[in-house]
Amino acid sequence: MIEYATAKELAQSVADSEADELDPHESYVIVDEFSHEYPWGWIFEPVLEPYLSTGQPCPRTGAWCISVDRFSGKIQTSSWAGWRADQWPIVELLLIDPGTETTDVYRFLRELKGWSAVETRRQMATVPTVIATGPLTSLQPVAQSLSERGAAIELRQKHS
């Protein structure tokens, strides 16, 4: 099992190799405040220098991330715009039953999805219903939040 410092070094080496495509005065830097820890490992969001240090608007953003698995040390890169299919399975988050405390689930879904009151009630009444589709790592926190509010949920792999 690897520690955060080692994972950060691995991510920085990937960022350095990607910096070959940048202008000569620019580089990617792994910064702690843009690093996210999960039970399986970390996601690092490289930032562009000198824009972070100077506070200047960046003409382009990195819009990509590096994940490092804490158990295997496996490194993967992906775009925030769309995860590569070979990285994490794409899953559907299904609401099976909103539970007995439906008000908390209702409020959470409205905020999460931006649904109107009518649309939220309709979705909650037509269970099971798909709440979201995406990579497992991004849907797990949503699934946990729904479970903590008493909802019965299911994560199932989406097949093409």
Q: What is the pTM of this model?
A: 0.49
Q: Could you name the CATH architecture of 90-157? A: 2-Layer Sandwich (3.30)
Q: Give the integer Cα–Cα distance in Å for 87 and 92.
A: 16
Which of 9, 13, 51, 16 lies closest to 32 in space, CA to CA?
9
Which of 83, 67, 86 lies closest to 139 in space, CA to CA?
83
Phi/psi at 152 (nearest 5 deg)? -95, 125
- The tens-digit pLDDT sequence of the chain (160 residues) is 899 999 999 999 999 988 877 778 888 889 898 888 887 888 898 888 876 677 665 555 556 788 888 888 888 887 654 444 444 557 888 899 999 889 989 988 888 888 899 999 998 889 898 888 877 777 777 888 888 899 999 888 765 4
Cβ neighbors of 19 (< 8 A, separation 6 or more) are: 26, 27, 28
Q: What DSSP letter does each residue of 24-38 carry, written as one string?
A: TT-EEE--GGGEEEE
Domain boundaries, the chain: 4-79, 90-157
Report how far Cα 30 is from the mean position of its chain's Cα atoms: 17
Tell me the H-state helices in the chain.
4-18, 51-54, 102-113, 117-125, 136-148
